[in-house]
Amino acid sequence: MFEKILIANRGEIALRVICACKELGIRTVAVYSEADRNSLHVRFADEAICIGPAKSARSYLNVPSVISAAEITNVNAIHPGYGFLSENADFAEVCEMSGIRFIGPKPAVIRLMGSKQRARSAVAAAGIPVVPGSQGILKDADEAIQNAGHIGYPVILKAVAGGGGRGMRIVRSAEELPPLFQQAQQEAAASFSCPDMYMEKFIAAPRHIEFQVLADEYGHVEVLGERECSIQRRHQKLIEEAPSPCVTPELRAKMCDLLRNAMREVGYTNAGTVEFLMDEDGSLYFIEVNARVQVEHPVTEFISGVDMVKSQILLAAGERLDTCVPSPLTLRGHAIECRVNAENPVTYTPSPGRITAFNVPGCVGVRVDTAAHADCVIPPYYDSLLAKLIAYGRDRGEAIARMNRALEMFIVEGVDTSIPLHQRILADPDFLAGNFTTDFLSRFAANGARTV
């Protein structure tokens, strides 16, 4: 087992990884930017090293700085958390070349999943249903028009290196394709230094459902069920739950079976998430794989009883899957996560600043993952996630009741937060009925329900 791990991240996820290390008896090294000098991850790690100025490009994203910190402190492994360097195949490769285990999939698999087009063909070849679309990279607008003719409009152009919705364009006819193709290419080149495009049939108002995978290095794969992530805006999730209210036990069993085989075939190891869109008929179509632990992993931890971050560490150290996941695996109850952001509730713009009062709710079935505390400062340089509030119950109703109670007892003063928005969503009849798609929040806002 590893003796010492460096955590290449900040905020709540850095604390989450420190917790897992402490329980495994592993010593920890925190890295921090000049803006995070007084953060809790610095306080709770056994050692801490400053890796640069506030801007993440010069600190948390700076590969030489992170690797130097790892070498100076002589760690055995690096946990990248989510965001930052977590899906950077080059970084994972540099770690391995420096004799430091990267806690995640192998560099070649991270690279495969980073190309949305290659990932799509790999999982399709392994038996996973994908959205009907183009094969390979689209050479130019003419080739795109040809493909769209076969697929049928509307189609969606996507950046091969994409993610987060950038470099995407919906196309409704051949006439409007050439300018949209050019725009999408330009955006992709600017955002990802790669202009390559592919195309899929556009699924209008889908649900976003993702399956959690854990795999060891000996061909064992387990799927810890799915999460429902349709409550989002501008590609930022706001509420996630497990299980999804619209996945039947039969569909879940079928998908888990398909995914166990497919992920073994592509050589996937460690933790990963396979994202699907569900159309109005209830069919699931693969869109991409996230080769990291996700923000919303606690809802899966609640229903599975599996500590996913501990599992990541054990699997990276070469342990077998059965040391992490009980066999047979049982999924039980229902969990919901509200992402409490430091943001203006009307404009959704970040609301950094000093927290003057802070009360964290608790009681049965409630978990709060946060690095914030009274009198701490939320810096403007990073994402606006202030806390993750997660509630568990025997069923969805009990989880929602506990979440409502916890939101009421969550006091944050000094910065604006999304707590009031969460309270309104949790009172919405469509949300309560489990009746929503990825456009729920934009409709919610348009209905005037957002006025504070």
Catalytic residues: 292
Token readout for 311 is 């599992």
Q: Is the CB of 206 or the CB of 361 nearer to ligand MV4?
A: 206
DSSP three-state, residue 253: helix
Stretch that binds ligand MV4, among 53-61, 201-209, 215-223, 329-337 (CB under 6 A): 201-209
Token readout for 136 is 């390979």
Note whether 197 and 181 are within 8 A (CB): yes
Q: Is the CB of 156 or the CB of 389 nearer to ligand MV4?
A: 156
Note whether 10 and 382 are within 8 A (CB): yes
Q: Is the CB of 76 or the CB of 134 nearer to ligand MV4?
A: 134
Note whether 405 and 361 are within 8 A (CB): yes
The yes or no reply on residue 273 touching ligand MV4 (CB under 6 A) is no
Token readout for 370 is 């946060």
Q: Give least dist CB 107 to ligand MV4, A.
A: 22
The yes or no reply on residue 131 touching ligand MV4 (CB under 6 A) is yes
Q: Give least dist CB 238 to ligand MV4, A.
A: 11
The yes or no reply on residue 291 touching ligand MV4 (CB under 6 A) is no
**Residues 42, 10: Cα–Cα separation, whole Å:** 9
Q: Give least dist CB 347 to ligand MV4, A.
A: 19
- Other beta carbons within 10 Å of 192: 17
User: Which parts of 163-182 interact with ligand MV4 (CB under 6 A)?
Assistant: 165
- Other beta carbons within 10 Å of 203: 20
- Other beta carbons within 10 Å of 10: 29
Q: Give least dist CB 378 to ligand MV4, A.
A: 26
Stretch that binds ligand MV4, among 21-29, 203-211, 327-335, 403-411 (CB under 6 A): 203-211
The yes or no reply on residue 114 touching ligand MV4 (CB under 6 A) is no
In the shown chain, the binding pattern of residues 209 to 248 toward ligand MV4, with x for contact by CB under 6 A and - for none, equals: -----------------------x--x-------------
Token readout for 448 is 């005037």
Q: In angstroms, how far is CA 52 from the centroid of its own chain?
A: 26
The yes or no reply on residue 156 touching ligand MV4 (CB under 6 A) is yes
Task: Identify the CA nearest to 230 among candidates 217, 215, 242, 221.
Answer: 242
In the shown chain, the binding pattern of residues 298 to 337 toward ligand MV4, with x for contact by CB under 6 A and - for none, equals: ----------------------------------------
